[in-house]
């Protein structure tokens, strides 16, 4: 009798275990996907850090494995998905170029690198940032042309770009056109 009672209890728990297993599998799959995406953001930020040749304020010292990248100086993440949404390194006196891997930060809505010493060309990979709304790279030393594929950034409304004589200009991207209007910034 004792044996059949044990079997009855097991029969009651088996459906519960099945449902639990399905829920755990789904959660694990979602967590694995989120972790992969977070790793992608982390690696893109580490590529960015690797190109920094001068950091007089030592802000890049927070960009390490002991702190989650969402807590790194200048990095803000979405509370809902943990993805990087803004990169704000304004006036940090950083010397660097921008790596192509910045295009892997696909949830970025804003980049502010104003008033540093970034140089080289703006990478074409910026055009992969379809959620990008604001890009400010004024008061740096970029050369070359603005990447043509920035037109793929359909949310981009403000593009503050370098004028080689370091005058404060900015551009506004019309939502109905791919042309930029450049005006002198009066501040």
Question: Which residues does residue 159 pair with via DSSP β-bridges, in sequence order?
Answer: 135, 171
Q: In this predicted structure, what is the pLDDT of residue 112?
A: 97
Residue-level pLDDT at 96? 97
Mean pLDDT of 138-159: 88
Check if the beta carbon of residue 92 is closer than 8 Å to that of residue 59: yes
Buried b (16+ CB within 10 A) or exposed e, 163-176: beeeeeebbebeee
Q: Euclidean distance between the first and final Cα of the chain, in Å?
A: 88
- Residue bearing the bigger pLDDT, 143 or 135: 135
* Phi, psi at 66, each rounded to 5°: -80, -10
pLDDT for 173: 43
91 CB-near residues (< 8 Å, 6+ apart): 114, 115, 116
Residue 11 has pLDDT above 90, yes or no: no
Residue 69: which domain range? 2-184
* pLDDT score for 70: 96
Domains held by the chain: number = 1
From the list 100, 72, 74, 70, the residue with the least C-alpha distance to 84 is: 70
Q: Rounded to 5 degrees, what are φ and ψ at 80?
A: -80, -35
Distance separating alpha carbons of residues 63 and 86, to the nearest angstrom: 15
Residue 120 confidence class, pLDDT cut points 50, 70, 90: very high
Q: How far apart are CA 75 and CA 87, in angstroms?
A: 5
**Is residue 181's pLDDT more than 90?**
no
Closest CA to 138 of 156, 178, 111: 111
For residue 87, the model assigns a pLDDT of: 98
pLDDT in tens, 21-73: 444 444 433 333 444 458 999 999 999 999 999 999 999 999 998 999 999 99
The 10s digit of each residue's pLDDT in 83-112 is: 999 999 999 999 999 999 999 999 999 999
Confidence of residue 114 (pLDDT cuts 50, 70, 90): very high
* Residue 160 pLDDT grade (very low, low, confident, very high; cuts 50, 70, 90): confident
Indicate the DSSP class of residue 147: P
Give the angle subtended at the CA of 118 by the CAs of 114 and 120, to the nearest 5°.
Answer: 130
| Residues in a beta bridge with 45 | none
Q: What does pTM read for this prediction? A: 0.71
Q: The domain spanning residue 10 has which CATH number?
A: 3.80.10.10
């Amino acid at each position: 009798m004792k044996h059949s009672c044990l079997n009855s209890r097991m029969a009651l728990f088996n459906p519960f275990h099945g449902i639990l297993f399905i829920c755990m599998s789904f959660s694990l799959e979602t967590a694995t996907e989120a972790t992969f995406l977070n790793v992608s953001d982390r690696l893109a930020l580490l590529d960015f850090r690797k190109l920094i040749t001068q950091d007089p304020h030592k802000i890049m010292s927070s960009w390490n494995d002991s702190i989650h990248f969402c807590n790194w100086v200048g990095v803000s993440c979405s509370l809902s998905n943990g993805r990087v949404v803004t990169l704000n390194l304004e006036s940090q006196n950083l010397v660097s170029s921008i790596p192509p891997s910045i295009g892997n930060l696909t949830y970025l809505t804003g980049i502010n690198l104003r008033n540093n010493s970034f140089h080289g060309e703006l990478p074409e990979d910026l055009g992969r940032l379809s959620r990008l709304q604001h890009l400010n790279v004024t008061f740096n030393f970029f050369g070359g042309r603005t990447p043509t594929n920035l037109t793929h950034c359909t949310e981009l409304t403000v593009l503050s770009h370098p004028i080689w004589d370091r005058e404060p200009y900015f551009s506004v991207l019309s939502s109905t056109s791919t042309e930029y209007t450049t005006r002198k910034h009066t501040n």
